[in-house]
Structure 1
Amino acid sequence: MADVATRAGVSRTLVSFVLDGKPGASEATKQRVLAAADELGYRPDSAARLLARGRSRTLGVLMDVRQLFEADLVAGIYPAAEELGYEVLLSANLPDREESVSVEALLSHRCGSLILLGPMSGTEYLHGLAGKVPVVVVGRRLDPAPGLATVRTDDVKGIREAVDYLVELGHRDIRHVDGGSDPGSPDRRRAYRAAMRRHGISEYAKVIPGAHTEEAGAEAARVMLADGDLPTAVLAGNDRCALGLLDVFTRAGVDIPGELSLIGYDDSRLSDNPRIDLTTVHQDAAALARHAVRLAIEMLEEREIGSPDVVLEPELVVRGTTAPPRQRSTSVVSK
């Protein structure tokens, strides 16, 4: 800006006024300043401007590097932020690292807003954090609080559509491997039980404790195999859990979907791999990312954000791991 002022023969303050569109300069002076800026290739340093006002132009993003769907979210967050002139700083959530440590690392780098992907921290901590810096939580339903916004998929509807689809195929013995305490799991678990009740097949409803990992899915499959009474369909808490189930069942000689249908949740990148071809509930990662970035910036810039809880529609994506049950399942139901 000082170089532009020297080239145009005016004060730095007047250059600031012209470039900010404020009154105070004649038309001739304004054109001279703009011409000088163009000749020098000047671009306003919006980051410096925000810092001068006590704000940062960096969005801090907390993610779990093990979760495929969160990687899809990050892939959408970067272009959405860059389009609006913001930078992104990542911090990893790891099993042996306190989540608060990862969050503090972002705050220490002067991030203006935080986007937390599937955080595990308690509500009290997240509400307290939102009192310090704008926070957007993705993939989890939370009680409202000042400075806090949420972006999520309608998990209740997603699970309901999955159960409806299996029932339409003829399934009754449908089990759910849940996500334990992982984000989104409580809503999905309740939705499964409600859907089974609505179809009048509550006697078949069974929740097998799990987590959003391949290991949890594999263990759940081993439990079902050991029981010797396989259901005709399994609804997994997420795609990673479904992959663990698929691996163990396939190795044990269970025909998927001939003997057992399997549905995941997320529609992460691996689910449409030809060797996996997983039927799953699709979450729109790109749209979730755009809304999260928008809310983070609007709160940072103290603009009106509208609804602090953005809920997107899920979509059931039918692939090769689901089919009507074999005749043996019909005989079991008729007892």
Structure 2
Amino acid sequence: MAGTQNSRDCGRLCQLRRDMTEGPRRATMADVAVEADVSKALVSLVYRKPEKVSPERRRRVHAAAERLGFRPNWVASSLSAYKGSFIGILVSNLHNPLFATIVDTVRTELDAAGRYGLMSSAVIQDRDGTTRTDRRIVNAFEDLNASALLVVGVTPDVSELQKLRPDIPIVVAAAAIDELPRAASVRSDNELGMRAVVEHLVSLGHTKIAHLGGAGGPASQRRAEAYAHAMTEFGLEENIHVESAEFDEQSGFLAAQRVLDRRPGATALACVNDLVALGAMNAASQRGLRIPDDVAITGYDNTFLAGIEAISLTSVDTGAEEIGRVAASWLVSDDAMPLAGTEILVPPRLVVRRSTRS
């Protein structure tokens, strides 16, 4: 009897030690299935393809999981499945507020549909300042069996995306897909947006309108071309001038300085985005020029920066939230994914503020 009692005491002590070192046993999908009174297969489907499960059953499973403290191991499930449950999100430029708005909208929509995204920058900068697509991140999303891929903005080398397995759908937001025909795209209409800018400036009496942009990739080139088309439409082709600028504030500052030095007659600067416009405003202010009395300045994308009262920048609203909603609607279900090569253009609108009108 004493030996039996000692054995039991030892067993309890050993279990206590295991609990202290290993913690309580982690709940499994099988536990959740029992708690929710559903099959294990249904629990798995809730976490892999929630759109295939009714809202009521999803609520039951999520409530049971919450009670048990269950958390699915998405890495393991992705690796063991033909297609993972998460959506990879690649952002070309983490410094662009427009892209942040699109990603926030997409994540909100995915969450409402019971899905989620894993985000990373798609671009890495070398020590000499040149940028390139980070193939390691692209490959990591493929290795983890992402169910789909969202690319926000333009990546330097789209061939890395072209190499992805053909069964991984690709959606591009805020960029064209000329070099990536396997993808579907939703973006703003650059022609309409830049035409609205030029028309607005012409209505205020401006004729010598310079464009800061054209560098930094296809999106910048498209807006420069749209500016030139609009200037021609209004009979101002002899005043067309594109001053090379990328998408950052410093680039806009330097481009504006060059225009103000070499083209003193320019009375308006139409910029490729809001960050470039901020750089141009800084350059004008340093020279003692009044905005908009001496020089009018417009941005593009209508990021939150444009609406700050101290900045009050006239800018083209590209419909970032609508772009995000459309992209998310394609990503949440295989049935909603459009054919490769599909491109949706969201109509832009001009938001007029003090940088062009006192």
TM-score by length of 2: 0.75
Give me the CA root mean square deviation: 3.2
Q: Which amino acid aligns with 1:170?
A: G
Q: Which amino acid aligns with 1:94?
A: I
Partner of 1:54: 82
Aligned with 2:245: secondary structure?
coil
Post-superposition CA distance 1:33-71 (Å, at most 9, x none): x9xx78x82589797988765111211111221112111
TM-score by length of 1: 0.80
| CA positional deviation for 1:5 | 7.0
The correspondence for 1:259, drawn from 294, 311, 316, is 294
Task: Determine what percentage of the aligned residue pairs are the same residue.
Answer: 28
The answer on 1:80 being equivalent to 2:80 is no
Classify 1:90/1:7 alpha carbon distance in 2 versus 1 (closer, same or farther; 3 Å).
Answer: closer
Partner of 2:24: none
What pairs with 1:104-183 in structure 2 (closer than 5 Å)?
104-129=139-164, 131=166, 133-143=168-178, 147-183=182-218
The answer on 1:318 being equivalent to 2:352 is yes
| CA positional deviation for 1:81 | 1.0
Aligned with 2:300: secondary structure?
strand
How many residues end up aligned between the 2 structures? Answer: 304
Aligned with 1:253: secondary structure?
coil
| CA positional deviation for 1:94 | 3.4
- Distance in 2, Cα, partners of 1:102 & 1:46: 20
- Distance in 2, Cα, partners of 1:5 & 1:125: 41
The answer on 1:70 being equivalent to 2:93 is no
- Distance in 1, Cα, partners of 2:357 & 2:103: 33
Post-superposition CA distance 1:168-223 (Å, at most 9, x none): 11111011011413341122111111111111111111111110110110111111
Aligned with 2:264: secondary structure?
coil
Partner of 2:303: 268
Classify 1:130/1:119 alpha carbon distance in 2 versus 1 (closer, same or farther; 3 Å).
Answer: farther
Partner of 1:94: 124
The correspondence for 1:305, drawn from 332, 338, 350, is 338
| CA positional deviation for 1:150 | 0.7
| CA positional deviation for 1:131 | 2.5
1:179–1:209 contact (8 Å) kept in structure 2: yes
Q: Which amino acid aligns with 2:309?
A: P
Structure with more relative contact order (C-alpha pairs < 8 Å, separation 6 or more): 1
| CA positional deviation for 1:106 | 3.0
- Distance in 2, Cα, partners of 1:142 & 1:156: 16
Q: Which amino acid aligns with 1:81?
A: L
- Which deviates more, 93-102 or 186-195? 93-102
Unaligned runs of 5+ residues in structure 2 are 1-28, 46-56
Unaligned runs of 5+ residues in structure 1 are 21-33, 325-335
Classify 1:148/1:223 alpha carbon distance in 2 versus 1 (closer, same or farther; 3 Å).
Answer: same
Q: Which amino acid aligns with 2:64?
A: G
1:174–1:235 contact (8 Å) kept in structure 2: yes
Aligned with 2:310: secondary structure?
coil
2:260–2:266 contact (8 Å) kept in structure 1: no
| CA positional deviation for 1:145 | 6.2
Partner of 1:41: 64
2:305–2:311 contact (8 Å) kept in structure 1: yes
2:78–2:144 contact (8 Å) kept in structure 1: no
2:243–2:259 contact (8 Å) kept in structure 1: no
- Distance in 2, Cα, partners of 1:188 & 1:147: 24
| CA positional deviation for 1:135 | 1.0
| CA positional deviation for 1:129 | 3.2
Classify 1:145/1:66 alpha carbon distance in 2 versus 1 (closer, same or farther; 3 Å).
Answer: closer
2:158–2:180 contact (8 Å) kept in structure 1: no
| CA positional deviation for 1:82 | 0.6
Post-superposition CA distance 1:1-46 (Å, at most 9, x none): 64477689x9x86x758998xxxxxxxxxxxxx9xx78x8258979
Post-superposition CA distance 1:275-313 (Å, at most 9, x none): 100000001111111111222233xx2555368212101
| CA positional deviation for 1:73 | 1.5
